[in-house]
Structure 1
Amino acid sequence: MRPHRRVTRRAKAALVAGFGTALLAGCGAGGELKSAGRAPTAVGPARLWPQLPPASAAPYDYGEGATARILGITVPHDDVREVDPVAVLQADLLATTSRSSGSDELPADTVRKITACRTAPTACPVLQPYYRDLTGDGRDDMVLGVRRSDGRLSVRVYMAEAGRLTRIMAVSDPVISVELAGWDVIMRVPSTIAGYEYRTAWSWDDHQRAMLPTRDEILRKAPETAPSGRPSAEPSPEPTMAPPTLTASAGRR
């Protein structure tokens, strides 16, 4: 056995100091550490006018959270792909919304065209349906668009549950485009500010059992791209309603 050697406190301190010197020398040789400057001071939120009472009513009704059970429509195996989109819209005209909301009431001329879709299909305002699981239950939901006579687009989402159909979203806007991204319906809408647009993401809320506008932004419009792939020198025209685009981008799952 090797003899046990006691190391004094002073010797330990010398060893630590020497080790630290070696580390500093190594850092200097390989690229010494440099200060990034003084860190900014964290500033917490400050509540303004705390004496004001909180509002008790919303300023306007955006239609969020309003749902409707679509009577007369049976969904076999809860598969919305087996349901006729025109029949869904025609039945939806008679549906009662869960609460009073006129945010997506269709114009009378649009209602007449939906009713006559079978006899006058060329004038039918119901657009091609899209399917995506937006509620996270593992089953596809149906996204329908209706071209309104006032130039706006009505976007409606339906989910199947226990063989029945429920409308979980209905909103009308003069849209630039509508996209499906992951579990969100994203709508781009022109802004009254030149060069800007609104972008709203509607997402499923399990507590409300409806699609809610979870993100609402105002953004600069992207420059129009020329066929060569370079930005066009001409200013982008104001977005119009003809025709709207409904696209499905890659999901986030």
Structure 2
Amino acid sequence: MNLPELGAFLRSRRDRVRPADVGLPTGSRRRVTGLRRDEVAELAHVSTDYYIEIERGTAQPSSAVLDAFAEVLRMSDDERAHAFTLAGRRQPRRSSRAALHPAMRDLLGRFGDDIPAYVTTDLQIVLAQNDAAAELHGPVPESSELTDSYVYRWFLDPAVRAQFDESYHEVEAEALIADLRIGVARRGPGDPDARALIEVLTAHSSWFARLWAQQDVAIRRSETKRLRHPERGLIDYDCYALLSEDGQERLIWYVPAKISMAGAADDRRVG
């Protein structure tokens, strides 16, 4: 938290917004090209004295007030995130089925037909996948219900677990929960989607409840999985994940282990 820096940042944004941008009249008597403090306060539905305190760095605005400032001052997503960071406030989350980030969509489209790849939220709801992933895991669920979360389906749907070699089930379960706990903590205790997912899994899966109580945490970045391909049988995959900057989305792709090992050998020969 850095409240003086927040005040300076708000002043800089205020100076860049023209009155006409927010529906205010422009006249020859204005002494500033941007918005006045009282205008920002009025548009954000706070008192002028309170806004002045915030710009002076002597008051910490709430998340709701910061959202109002971001709207009034026409902040970009990055500027809004920066304001929340300076204020020491947690940003409100997007919905469980977030809009797929354009960069993630672009990267997903660059994988070949032999590399299963997909994008999920931090609650493991699939947002998009390529044909290879659909062939391996089935179609993307059409709804945005939390029951479509891969974590939910892993613990409560035996057909999902059947995609994996049985010897890998406990490893997958432990990794899922350790990764999920980080996402849930990042969302905060007030997030309804995270809370609902944990509550329903704890109530309906003693396996989940046991592992969740262990308090393990670990982001899934790379690992090896043995999956049952519907046509080719058991295949060992080296799996990798690339997380978005805010941690809300991740691109996951599988490389058959033999191909991955051959690539590593080629790299060693080149080196």
Q: Which TM-score tier does this pair reach, normalised by the shorter chain?
A: under 0.3
Relative to the length of structure 1, the TM-score reads: 0.23
Q: Which has the larger radius of gyration?
A: 1
**Higher strand proportion (structure 1 or 2):** 1
